[in-house]
Amino acid sequence: MAFPAGFFEDHHVILAPMAGVSDLIFRRLCEEQGADLTFTEMVSAKGLSYANEKTRHLMDVLPGTAEVGVQIFGHEPKTMAEQAKWIEDALGESLAYLDINMGCPARKIVKKGDGSALMNAPELAADIVNAVKRAVSHPVTCKFRRGWSEESGESASAFAYRMQEAGADAVAVHGRFAMQYYKGASDAGAIARVKEAVSIPVIGNGDVTSGAQARALKERTGCDAIMVGRAAQGNPWVFADIKAALADDVAPSPPTLEERVQMARRHIARLLAVRPHAAAYLRKHAMWYLHGCPHAAFARGQLATCKTQEEFFAVLDGVLDRDLTEGAAHGA
């Protein structure tokens, strides 16, 4: 099944799938700030095939969630197709569409032939898309990068066309080469060239950290939607900024320190309520919420050892108390 008409007009600002980041509570917080669609963490097809409960929990959704995207990774067409079908059956109406990861550059992913390694094996990548597409009734997309490396050259346009021919209903393109990881700048031109090469929707990704950058990317590339990844870490407000910029509205004010602390408290309390052993995971999120804030350095060392909600809250409240004390001293 292809995307219904107007799908990306209603879902034009998307939270990217991020391993160890896009948990079910974080997704809800991003939705509240304006994300039209959110993705779960990327899911291992092989892990699902072993009935791995930890892997399955990555796809948990909160009651009231309209739709969620799920990204799977792997390199075996049969396993990918079987587990895509399982996901579709398990999530039912909560599933928006399935994405195939062909862009993750992490060494532990690539060395198994998964993620961006598939850009070096376009025939296998096409076989995976075709197999998944035949197994499910939801739309199927794939996310990849500008190419493997600067030395091997840009291949995104040809790769995108190959995936379209294999049955992909849309593609998401990150404007860096896989071997750049997250260094250097994302090339919007690569996304524009993919848009010219295919007739299916194109989702632009890479270096979108503000509403102004999202608008510039859409104008430069003609992409059908914007996908935001690392810029949302500790900053769900980025979606409100992007939505305002794309709608020509006045940009919202940046969050205050108190708003950052309150968002961190909500994330921590709500996730620990459904995942009581998530404290270690939450430490990085708490640090991200305070990034660039006064006294963040003071809090970082303490957050690294937090094990309970009470300990997290004590550190966060301490940041606010320090700020208030400092402000009073300056005002005296």
Q: What is the pLDDT of residue 325?
A: 60
> How high is the pLDDT of residue 332?
41
pLDDT band at 329 (very low <50, low <70, confident <90, very high): very low
CA 93 to chain centre: 21
By C-alpha distance, which of 312, 324, 256, 323 is closest to 285? 312
How far apart CA 269 and CA 248 sit, in angstroms, is 35
Q: pLDDT tens digits, residue range 249-292? A: 999 999 999 999 999 999 999 999 999 999 999 999 999 999 98
Query: What does residue 31 show for φ and ψ, rounded to 5 degrees?
Result: -60, -40
Instruction: Say what the pLDDT of residue 326 is.
Output: 55
Catalytic residues: 104
What average pLDDT does the segment 46-73 reach?
Answer: 85
Provide mean pLDDT across the span 46-72: 85
pLDDT at 208 over 80: yes
Mean pLDDT calculated for residue range 303-310? 96
Q: Using one digit for the tens of pLDDT, what is the confidence trace for 310-326?
A: 999 999 999 988 765 65
Q: What is the mean pLDDT of residues 223-247?
A: 97
pLDDT tens-place string over residues 24-55:
999 999 999 999 999 999 999 999 988 777 77
Angle at 12 between CA 282 and CA 142, to 5 degrees: 75
Q: What is the DSSP string of 321-332?
A: HHHHHHHHHHH-
Residue 54 tokens, joined: 């930890």
Q: Rounded CA gap, 139 and 99, in Å?
A: 8
Does pLDDT of 144 surpass 70?
yes
Q: What percent of the chain has pLDDT over 90?
A: 86
When the pLDDT of each residue in the chain is averaged and rounded to a whole number, the result is 94
The domain made up of 7-246 has a fold known as TIM Barrel (3.20.20)
Exposure of 85 by Cβ count < 10 A (0-12 exposed, 13-18 middle, 19+ buried)?
middle
Q: What is the predicted pLDDT for the residue at 294?
A: 82
Instruction: Extract the tokens encoding 260.
Output: 């950052």
Per-residue pLDDT for 150 more than 90? yes
Q: What is the structure's pLDDT at 324?
A: 56
Residues 155-176: pLDDT tens digits? 999 999 999 999 999 999 999 9
What pLDDT shows up at residue 247? 95
Q: Which residues face 98 on adjacent strands?
A: 70, 140
